[in-house]
Amino acid sequence: MTDPVRYSVQDGIAVIAVDNPPVNALSQAVRAGLAEAVARLSGDDQARAGVIYGAGRTFIAGADIREFGKPMAEPFLPDVIAAIEACEKPVVAALHGTALGGGLEVALGCHARVALASAKVGLPEVTLGILPGAGGTQRLPRIAGAAAALDLITSGRHVAAVEALKLGIVDAVVDGDDPLAAGLAHARRLADGEATGRRSGEIDPGAKDEALFADWRAKTKKSARGQISPMVAIDAIEAAYDLPFNEGMARERELFKELMASDQRAGLIHAFFAERAVAKIPEAEAASPREVASIGVIGGGTMGSGIAVAALNAGLPVTLVERDEASVERARGIVSKLLDDGVRRGKLSEARRDQILSRDFSTATDYSALAETDLVIEAVFEDMDVKKDVFRRLDGIAKAGAILATNTSYLDVNEIAAATSRPQDVIGFHFFSPAHVMRLLEVVVADKTAADVVATGFALAKKLRKVAVRAGVCDGFIGNRLLNTYRKAADYMVEDGASPYQIDAALVAFGFPMGPFAVSDLAGLDIAWAGRKRRAATRDPRERTVGIADRICERGWFGQKTGRGYYLYEPGARRGSPDPEVEAIIAAEREAKGIVPRSFTDEEIVSRYMAAMINEAAKIVEEGIALRPLDVDVTMLAGYGFPRWRGGPMQYADRLGLDTVLAELRRLSAEDGFFWEPAPLLVRLADEGQTFASLNERD
């Protein structure tokens, strides 16, 4: 193993190389190595100045997140940085790749910073539930001012080198790809007195702008929605103005430790690693992805158009096939509008949009246009006969080795695959609406799907900047199967006495961006209605059914698109108001069943909703539909608005304690029957005193 920090001297300048692949994280060995290197520089007669840089692809990308939650080992990062800052010889940080978190804090402790133009800097700690705990909240405002510090630290956003220069975070931006050369040149200028360095801890931060802090507090309270770290980070930044530097550092440390001990930190770090672990699937180890240089999309409605835009934005040419000329024109209109939105939001240049429309995007009504395409995604109506017909036709024209994917939400991918002569090439790619925005892609693996086809799904997701989760075939795969289950729990509560509006409010307070009834209105109540009709014949006779949604649909109220659903919508409005007529429908349904409504507390609502979700998730894991509990967590986080700081339903269950969840399910199943019967996996884990997390490690 190479030394994680190497010291050498080049022409009178000490070169301190941090070499801890993959991202030069600040492990204990790196911290100790840095401390030793700086001490050596101080006493080294051969060195007039020093440069700290990262070997490999990046500067230091932050603390070693894997050490979080364990006792911290000395030397502590703030002490290492204090030693760098105190060094009497100038020390330059030479940045490339990403200088994040503790990495940027090391750089802020240096006396000057130079960055390659491609470098990015940031303090993303709040996204992990903590705050910069090694002087970032005290040094950044001193260097860049309160407004920049508040912005960077509460958002965690990555800032490109040019913007960092404007904000005063770096002293120079250098073209090229050699951070060490840039650092050495700057260190020489400092040693020769041609440039001056500064100790950021010694800079006077100036007077506090009270109004600015009040404004950020108000703004952050809204945007953070229940997440505590951004608010606490503001307190820490404020200490830079209220206290002398050393006391501010102590205050930052205290707040950092508080957050480090929080459940939210545990949830957010679980989410970080889970999003990376989902890509670790058996097929990716067994096979390499197939080459995909062109995409075909069949059906250019809501989903097909969004999928086309997602692929076009990633630089892949797309051929879209629709039923007839009128449908082609409609699809072209949707794609153009989505691209225009991208231009308006600054995500796409006008020139790139024009290039996409004239060169990369083509349309057709004839399937033969897809004969040479590497990968075709079907997004036609959710109807088995229509889908089978599409796949039969595709089978007739697609080249050998082309991947044939379906975007079905619920239907049996095995049955669709059987309509072709090449089931090994057929797979489900379940995108979420809007498909060019939502991060989740469920990769649905059918019985005969080849391993390299699965690996291609994961490679494509990466290219589209999405998170792929491997799912098995069942009604609704991972996400929609869960959705159907917790929606039922919500419907039962409405029938028993809660209002849809109270349930939505309770779940928004829990951290979801919208409650389940508002989501139904957005998605369209007709879709779930069709699903209920489809499942009616195969439904378990023991299952409790609620007729309220059917009564609403029978009136033609399908949600936002018809101006009313559970809520009433003013024309064009996205937020609705409670509808007394819906409340009357609910009252009538209760009466017809002889149910005397009772009240629910918000805690009861959350508890039942989560118990239903966790129980179904345990079945999904046990059946192998999800590989591990963490795959369920990522599905819910990336596709269904589950609050990230709660880590996902399985992580949430672990924190509640599986015995607590089991006790709630047993109580509910005694009261309300079969729907609540605990999953055998949950019973086993609770009996063994285990957690879902114990199943996340694969050998």
**List 41, 99, 149, 321, residue binding ligand NAI (CB under 6 A):** 321
What residues have CB less than 8 Å from 422, skipping those under 6 apart?
395, 404
Nearest-angstrom CA–CA distance, 247 and 255? 12
The nearest distance, CB 57 to ligand CAA, in angstroms, is 7
Residues in the chain: 699
Of the candidate residues 107, 303, 455, 682, the single one contacting ligand NAI (CB under 6 A): 303
The entry of ligand CAA, ligand NAI, none near residue 63 (CB within 5 to 8 angstroms by kind) is ligand CAA
| Whole-angstrom Cα Rg for the chain | 28
Q: Give the residue with the Cβ less far from ligand NAI, 382 or 475.
A: 382
Q: Which of residues 86, 162, 386, 573 is near ligand NAI by CB under 6 A?
A: 386
Residue 88 is among the residues annotated as catalytic for this protein = no
Under the binding rule (CB under 6 A), the answer on residue 43 touching ligand CAA is no
Interface pick for ligand CAA out of 3, 39, 46, 66 (rule CB under 6 A) = 66
Residue with the closest Cβ to ligand NAI? 301
Quick one: 32 or 438, whose CB is closer to ligand NAI? 438
Q: Rounded to whole angstroms, how far apart are CA atoms 533 and 589?
A: 19
Listed in sequence order, the residues at least 6 apart from 512 whose beta carbon sits closer than 8 Å to its beta carbon are 641, 642, 643
Q: Looking at residues 87 to 106 of the shown chain, list those that interact with ligand CAA (rule: CB under 6 A).
A: 98, 100-102, 105
- Kindly state whether residue 443 participates in binding ligand NAI, applying the rule CB under 6 A: no
Taking contact as CB under 6 A, which single stretch among the options 19-27, 187-195, 484-492, 543-551 is the one that binds ligand CAA? Answer: 19-27
In the set 36, 85, 125, 583, the catalytic residue is: 125
Helix segments in 87-174, DSSP class H = 102-109, 136-144, 146-155, 161-167
Residue 100 binds: one of ligand CAA, ligand NAI, none (C-beta under 5 to 8 A by kind): ligand CAA
Identify the H or E element spanning 413. Answer: helix 413-417
Binding residues with ligand NAI: total (CB under 6 A): 24
Q: Which residues contact 417 (CB under 8 A, 6 or more apart)?
A: 391, 423, 426, 446, 447, 448, 449
Neighbours of 360 (CB within 10 A): 19
Closer CB to ligand NAI, residue 267 or residue 559? 559
Quick one: CA dihedral 429, 433, 437, 438, positive or negative?
A: negative
- Say which entry of ligand NAI, ligand CAA, none residue 322 contacts (CB below 5 to 8 A, set by partner kind): ligand NAI
**Distance, CA of 486 to CA of 480 (rounded, Å):** 10
Among 261, 315, 381, 687, binds ligand NAI (CB under 6 A): 381
CB of 520 to ligand NAI, least distance (A): 12
Q: How far is CA 481 from the centre of its chain?
A: 20
105 is known as an active-site residue: yes
Cβ(111)–Cβ(91) below 8 Å: yes
d(Cα 287, Cα 533) in Å, to the nearest integer?
40
Among ligand NAI, ligand CAA, none, residue 310 binds (CB under 5-8 Å by kind): none
Helix 516-523 crosses helix 479-496 at what angle (to 10 degrees)? 120
What secondary structure, in 3-state letters, does 432-453 show?
A: CCCCCCCCEEEEEECCCCCHHH
> Is 23 a binder of ligand CAA (CB under 6 A)?
yes
Site map (CB under 6 A) of ligand NAI, residues 473-512, x = contact: ----------------------------------------
How many residues interact with ligand CAA (rule CB under 6 A)?
Answer: 22
Residue list 113-142, contact with ligand CAA (CB under 6 A): 124-125, 128, 132-134
Q: Could you give the CA distance from residue 392 to residue 536 in angstroms, rounded to a whole number?
A: 28
d(CA 462, CA 469): 11
Q: Which residues bind ligand CAA (CB under 6 A)?
A: 22-23, 25, 61-66, 77, 98, 100-102, 105, 124-125, 128, 132-134, 276
Active site residues: 105, 125
Residues that bind ligand NAI (CB under 6 A): 298-304, 321-323, 327, 379-382, 386, 390, 407-409, 431-433, 523
